[in-house]
Amino acid sequence: MSRTRIVAVDDDRRILRVLKRACETVGYEVHSVLDAEFFKSSFRVFEPSLVFLDLSMNNIDGVELLRFIAKERRETAIIVTSGVDERLLGAAHSLGMSLGLRMLEPIRKPMIVADVRRRLRMFRDQPAVVPPTTVSSSGLKQALTDGLLEVYYQPMVNLTTGEVVCIEALARLRKPGSGVHLPEQFIPIAEQSGLIEALTFGVLDRALADVAALQFLSPKLQVAVNVSPVMLCGVDLPERIESLLSAHRVSPGRLVIEVTETSTPDDRQRMADNLSRLRLKGIRLALDDFGTGYCSLGQLYEFPYETLKLDKKFAMRAESNSTAAAMIRSSLELARSVGLTVVVEGIQSEETMRWLERLGCDIGQGFHISAPLTLYALTDWLQDPERTINTAMLSPASAA
């Protein structure tokens, strides 16, 4: 079996020695590039699975190289390294993500071997995501007709007790043959083509059936399902959800409706009415991806949410970025002041999880706790006292 290939590009020989030593101790093959002018040719010949990329070099900048990698080999993972201001480091990380690259947590210089090894563990433990491909509206409609919709579940745990309190239902579309499409590859199409309702109720029906099947293991386990703001203006939405709950004999308090804050419909009054009616029926409400969209504070004031889910990018960068850490602290303080439960997504290390616990965060979610799992893998995971994930049961593209 061939070894994992890594390219390290930096104009400081000392940094290259640190990177090479750390990578080779875990069996990775490393190619060091001191002069960025030779990076492109080295990249094409070596075809690395991971690149350590210095953001600021003498004759070329890292942003240009990020764009090059996005064109050449998007599945390559990237770890940006630099001594620049952490806001600029964060901006480069965000740019890479916007280019569709697999960006791992950056490293601020001066770096130590322990920093590198921790990033290598993240690289090893996080499955690669299939590069986005276009799903047409006709293709999506056919996939739903053919029963290619699948649902995976990512657990959320109480950070103090370790109790699994909820599972988030995550939609996947099975590709004919092999592989899956992730939500970002078909949700926008579903919203634009009018298929979002069929998709959402398909996920909701499956999720309620599965949480009912898990009753013997965890009678209080909740399941969270994302509902697009586009759907929240439907006149009969609360009744349709209530009917599904009744059909699966699941109590309303075990369903959490997650609403993303990245967009809201024009008819905010209808949305407020439906969210209020859902709450009155006993269904729980969560504001998802807090910190990424618009009018966050306005939504907390207008709509009857019980839970605030902090976007995963903050936890993923908290250890290396003081601004991200400050955002988490301020969000926790805000939530406490208005009586909201907080879920922090994107937990990728033991250090981040324990730091959040010390801050008084309620609930955590992320790859350090568990990747998204099939129902069968989840059943095994819930019964395993060590909470060990059977990776053979994971989705081929199991990123949340």
Is 70 exceeded by the pLDDT of residue 390? no
pLDDT in tens, 143-177: 899 888 999 999 999 998 889 999 999 999 887 66
Question: What's the average model confidence in pLDDT over 232-243?
Answer: 90
CA nearest to 365, candidates 194, 164, 186? 164
Instruction: Render pLDDT for 294-323 as a digit per residue (tens, 0 to 9).
Output: 546 667 778 899 999 998 888 887 877 788
| Chain centroid offset of residue 305 CA | 21
pLDDT of 87 above 80: no
- For the beta carbon of residue 4, count every other beta carbon within 10 angstroms: 17
In this structure, are residues 264 and 271 in contact, taking their beta carbons and an 8 Å threshold?
yes
User: Tell me, what's the pLDDT at 291?
Assistant: 76
What pTM does this model have?
Answer: 0.71
Report the DSSP beta bridge partners of residue 225: 169, 257
Domains and CATH numbers, the chain: 5-125 (3.40.50.2300), 137-393 (3.20.20.450)
Tokens of 63: 């942003």
Q: How confident is the model at residue 400 (pLDDT cuts 50, 70, 90)?
A: very low
